[in-house]
Amino acid sequence: MSGFSAPSSAHSTDPTVPGLDVPLGDVNAVGRVVKFHAPEIVFGVGSTGEVAHAVARLGGVRPFLVTDVGLLEAGWVAAIENELRERGMSPVVWAEPTPNPKDHEIAAGHVVYRDRGCDVLVAIGGGSVMDAAKGVAILASNGGRILDYEGVDTVESPIPPVVMVPSTAGTGADVSQFCIVTDTDRGTKITILGRALVPDITIIDPRLLTTMPEWLSAATGLDALTHGIEAFVSLAHNPLTDHHALRAVTLVIETLAHTIADPDGLPARTVMAQASLEGGLAFTNAILGAAHAMSHQVGGLLDLPHGVINGILLPHVIRFNAGADGRPYVPVAASLGLPEARGSAAEAAFAVADRVETLARAVGVPRTLGSIGVTDADVERLAEFSLRDACMATNPRPATQSDIAALFRKAL
């Protein structure tokens, strides 16, 4: 699979940072060769002023601006569009993607991109918008149907240049090698994964986060938390991803509730923007686990917010994984200052699960899948599709369909 090689599942507790009990790295990874994929990153308040310059550097003449209605109404797209026109470019705005972008939407976007003679793609929005932009880019250079590219390293031809301008703090799509698309016929999400999908430039301006509705702040923040935890315990974790993963976890735990209480506060929004970035850098290189594999299926079936589903599922997955080996979660517990980190590995892991649940309840995420529409009749189908998801391959504990079905039922 692109971007990782097979390591051991457990994190070593040695060597440690002097004075701390948090590992500096994984001694089992010594001698391994790892890759770390990342785009050029522009970060800071006011950085959207760099978009036109970035597009120009990439040779853009007729940039394709992928966005959604909410971002149009917030005024961010018009400001970027004006700056592009001032640089002599002729931007084309496409605002048709919906949450959990659909296969037919990406096909329609590609038609507009092709017929208008566009070149550089600029995604202004959350994870759905960014995934839609990647999908259009795949078809622009590779043709066919977007569903043809499900799996790992299936995109053979380089995609057109892509600039990301994230408006949420959590998805990590602006730095990742993932593209998630809803297969509307099967009612599931497919994962397209490969180095070709890493964007060229991401421009992260925390001001854009202030126009998120409260539920979206909560959902995307929990997505970033899930990225950090799943990347840290992933079978594909490595010393280059571990620090980013732990930083994402601690920043979200410490900051997410503040952004709900004070949505206009730029200091907290800036921290959450960094948390999203750190989580994205971690998971695109270490991949993820069962929580994401399962969440993709629920989101594809019921068209529900991905981060909300993660917030419900993640504690159950942590406890399941810890049933086989809780050691990978000990450094997570230590980084959060949980006293259970000094107890048994199982105690540490269960404390992490409890802390995730506490945060999810504090920001208004429901406790159960049943409360968002999942029924027992859905479980076997969801479990079957979960096992096919690319994220399941790096979950630290192997799982059968009956294991996953049991997890879904616990979450009901």
pLDDT, one tens digit per residue, over 15-74 is: 333 333 334 445 455 567 888 999 999 999 999 999 999 999 999 999 999 999 999 999
Share of the chain above pLDDT 90, in %: 91
Query: Peptide bond before 15: cis, by omega within 30 degrees of 0?
Result: yes
Structure tokens at 43: 């970060």
pLDDT band at 10 (very low <50, low <70, confident <90, very high): low
pLDDT of residue 34: 87
Cβ neighbourhood burial of 71 (10 Å; 0-12, 13-18, 19+) = buried
| Tens-place pLDDT, residues 357-378 | 999 999 999 999 999 999 999 9
Which pairs with CB-CB distance under 8 Å and at least 24 residues apart come from 239-242? 239/25, 239/26, 239/29, 239/34, 240/34, 240/36, 240/285, 241/36, 241/281, 241/282, 241/285, 241/286, 242/11, 242/23, 242/25, 242/26, 242/282, 242/331
Measured CA to CA, the distance from residue 14 to residue 290 in angstroms comes to: 27
pLDDT band at 5 (very low <50, low <70, confident <90, very high): very low
Structure tokens at 399: 């799982």
Averaged pLDDT for residues 169-195: 95
Measured CA to CA, the distance from residue 134 to residue 287 in angstroms comes to: 18
Domains of the chain: 40-210 (3.40.50.1970), 214-411 (1.20.1090.10)
The neighbour count for residue 60, using CB atoms within 10 Å, is: 24
Measured CA to CA, the distance from residue 61 to residue 197 in angstroms comes to: 22
Measured CA to CA, the distance from residue 31 to residue 16 in angstroms comes to: 19
pLDDT of residue 8: 45
- Bridge-based pairing state of the strands 178-183 and 188-193: antiparallel
Q: Is the pLDDT of residue 131 over 60?
A: yes
CB 57 within 8 A of CB 45: no
The neighbour count for residue 384, using CB atoms within 10 Å, is: 14
| Tens-place pLDDT, residues 93-127 | 999 999 999 999 999 999 999 999 999 999 999 99
pTM of the entire predicted model: 0.92
Backbone conformation region of residue 175, classed left if phi is above 0, alpha if psi is from -120 to 50, else beta: alpha
Measured CA to CA, the distance from residue 191 to residue 177 in angstroms comes to: 10
Measured CA to CA, the distance from residue 381 to residue 385 in angstroms comes to: 6
204 φ/ψ angles, rounded to the nearest 5 degrees: -110, 105
Measured CA to CA, the distance from residue 29 to residue 285 in angstroms comes to: 15
Give the amino acid at 209.
L
CB 233 within 8 A of CB 329: yes
Measured CA to CA, the distance from residue 214 to residue 364 in angstroms comes to: 9
Measured CA to CA, the distance from residue 335 to residue 312 in angstroms comes to: 22
Average pLDDT, the chain: 92
